[in-house]
Structure 1
Amino acid sequence: MSHDHAAEPSPSDCADFLDQIVYFIDNELDEADCTVVRAHLDSCNPCLEKYDLQRTVKSVVARSCAESAPADLRQRVLLQIRAVQVEIRKG
């Protein structure tokens, strides 16, 4: 990852950074790399937007995995799946 943030970030800087977003969100980078990532976010709005989107998606997925569908919804979905399976077998 390039450490020169005096100029506008280049596309390769952004590509390098975007590879690190998931690790940054999951706190899997060392402090030096976190500092570089934060500096890039401060200087690059497109990457900041992608970071915010990734963080939001990760949060929604984590929250959704903890929730369970109501029993009646689960039953309706299973019935629809079975109906489609029967149609496929007949077709």
Structure 2
Amino acid sequence: MTDCGCDKARKDLEEYLRNEVCKTEHSDITEHLANCASCQEEALVARTLTEVVARACRETAPETLRDQVMSRLRAEQAAHH
């Protein structure tokens, strides 16, 4: 294993967090993150953002809000035809 450095770790961070890099690159980035506080912070921010977006995508709007939005969209479409 070799520490890949900040540039490589940050360039491939998203793929690393999704386990989309090869085993060698994964090991190199893991080693770098273990020794670089700045990149650890960057990874934490990226991981947190990914989790928040995933959680938001699983949530659904209340039925009344969906009905209001759809009603408004229909009214706008009718006004422009």
Instruction: Give the C-alpha shift of residue 53 in structure 1.
Output: 0.9
Runs of 4+ with >3 A deviation: none
| In structure 1, distance between residues paired with 2:21 and 2:40 | 17
Q: Which residue of 1 aligns with 2:38?
A: 46
Cα deviation 1:24-81 (Å, max 9, x = unaligned): 11111111111100110011001001101101111111111111111233426x75xx
Among the aligned pairs, what percent are the same residue? 30
TM-score (normalised: structure 2): 0.73
Q: Any unmatched runs of 5+ in structure 2? A: 76-81
Residue 24 of structure 1, aligned match among 16, 27, 33 = 16
TM-score (normalised: structure 1): 0.66
Q: Which residue of 1 aligns with 2:78?
A: none
Q: Which residue of 1 aligns with 2:55?
A: 63
Does the residue aligned with 1:63 lie in a helix, a strand or coil? Answer: helix
Residue 35 of structure 1, aligned match among 27, 34, 38 = 27
| In structure 2, distance between residues paired with 1:24 and 1:73 | 37
RMSD, aligned α-carbons: 2.4
